[in-house]
Amino acid sequence: MQEPMWMEEKSECAATSLPPGKVSPSVLTRLLELPRRTRQEVILGPRAGEDAAVVKLGPRPVAVTTDPITFPAPRPGWYAVHINANDLAVTGAKPDYFTLTILLPPGSAEEQAAAIMQDALAAAEELEVTLLGGHTEITPAVNTPVVSVTMFGPLFGDSPVLTGGGKAGDAIIQVNPMGMEGTTILAETYRERLEKEISPELVSRAASLTVTPGLSVVKPAMLALRLFDVHAMHDPTEGGLATGLREMAAAAGLGLDIHAPRLLVRPETLQICNWLKFDPFGLLASGCLLLAVPEEEAAEALKAFQQSGYAAARIGFFTARAGEYRVINKGGDMRELPVFETDELTRPAAEEKNARH
């Protein structure tokens, strides 16, 4: 019997060395093309760019997502719960339950496991979600704590909100600044040098961005769903805002124009990225929300977000020019939206830069 094509190509794929971080869209597409079984209850299955799956398990469809924290984050348990809740919220679901897996390197103490658990439970309390179970292990397979959450909850409506649900002409709205999670990690990682060369006050503000404004986009996502005809939502994470925008446009088969002067970014992010020679456009972006609404609703959407205390801006719009992703600078000149094969946090540029100081 002749082997399927994907089996014939297996050895070639296995020999390809992949860079650190989330796999590229092309690799993910090939992985998702592998034969798999499905069921009629699956409303939204595995799909590039989508934040969660949706399955009908009872009277209401249920959204399910899973995502690990693999970066050396200062509070991985707290981060993991929030980023998974975000993925459900942007799919139009209420986070209700989660499981938690904690993998620690050899030599870890019980206190470290307890701190991760306590942080996860603190985030769960904020979000009113319930821990159901999980797994905790000490393993030489990791050299830094890896925390993974699987979260699920019911849809508010009968169908999910898609990452790729945008339409040509839709306004693209950004809620909360980009790169906050990455900024906090950089501030903690290079605290001593940043305090010496920039200022302790800036480092303190940067390290607190994941608390204020915070990582959660659950409330602004729910606000948008209650008030507006939301065509698409996305929670940009690895690869930053630029990757999130590309994922939205690619999933919809559209292009986009982004106005650079309108992008929301904290001064702390700009200063730290400038010092480390990083691009904030490609920096880990949890806490930022992207959504597409009809152009005629954009002004009211911005007003609603701002009245509720959220920073928000109409940063651009989707176009019918599929695959054309443009950034319009202050002077009106255009460039291609940057491509980040991996998140800026994974680049060695920071270490190289700091080695010279």
Parent domain of 184: 171-355
How far is the C-alpha of 169 from the C-alpha of 321, rounded, in Å?
Answer: 11
CA-closest candidate to residue 73, choices 181, 160, 224: 181
Residue 349: CA count within 13 A, CB half-sphere: 15
Ramachandran category for residue 226: left, alpha or beta (phi over 0 → left; psi -120 to 50 → alpha): alpha
For residue 337, what pLDDT is reported? 97
Amino acid 14: pLDDT: 52
Q: Is 102 helix (H, G, I), strand (E, B) or coil?
A: strand
CATH number of the CATH domain containing 89:
3.30.1330.10
pLDDT attached to residue 154: 96
Nearest C-alpha neighbor of 196 from the set 357, 12, 65, 29: 357
44-53 burial by CB neighbour count: b if 16+ within 10 A, else e?
beeeebbbbb
**Sign of the Cα pseudo-torsion (153, 154, 156, 159, in order):** positive
Q: Which of 270, 286, 288 is nearest to 278 (CA)?
A: 270
As given in the structure block, the two tokens for residue 56 are: 């009908």
pTM above 0.75, yes or no: yes
Strands 97-104 and 130-138: parallel
Count the domains in the chain.
2
Q: What is the pLDDT of residue 356?
A: 40
Torsional sign, CA 29, 30, 31, 36: positive
User: pLDDT in tens for each of the 357 residues of the chain?
Assistant: 444 443 444 444 556 788 888 888 888 889 999 999 999 999 999 988 888 999 998 888 999 999 999 988 889 999 999 999 999 999 999 999 999 999 999 999 999 999 999 999 999 999 999 999 999 999 999 999 999 999 999 998 889 999 999 999 999 999 999 999 999 999 999 999 999 999 999 999 999 998 889 999 999 999 999 999 999 999 999 999 999 999 999 999 999 999 999 999 999 999 999 999 999 999 999 999 999 999 999 999 999 999 999 999 999 999 999 999 999 999 889 999 999 988 998 876 444 444 444
Q: Are residues 295 and 150 in the same domain?
A: no
Beta strands in 127-246 (DSSP E): 130-138, 146-154, 171-175, 232-234
CB 245 within 8 A of CB 325: yes
Residue 4 resides in a domain: no
Residue 28 lies in a domain: no
Asked if the structure places residue 6 within a domain, the reply is no
Q: End of a domain among 122, 154, 186?
A: 154
Tell me: do 146 and 249 sit in the same domain: no
Tell me the pairing of strands 146-154 and 61-69.
Answer: antiparallel
CATH number at residue 199: 3.90.650.10
Claim to verify: residue 97 and residue 237 sit in the same structural domain: no
Are 199 and 283 found together in one domain? Answer: yes
Give the span between the Cα atoms of 221 and 289, in whole angstroms: 8
Residue with tokens 């940057």: 338
CA–CA distance from 141 to each of 104, 250, 324 (Å)? Answer: 9, 34, 41
- Of 125, 154, 183, which residue is a domain's last? 154
Within a domain: 281:
yes
Phi then psi dihedrals of residue 201, to 5 deg: -65, -45
Same domain, residue pair 181 and 136: no
Confidence (pLDDT) at 102: 98
CB 62 within 8 A of CB 54: yes
Is residue 243, in this structure, part of any structural domain at all?
Answer: yes
Distance CA 111, CA 124 (A): 20
Alpha helix ranges (H) inside 208-325: 218-227, 240-252, 267-276, 298-307
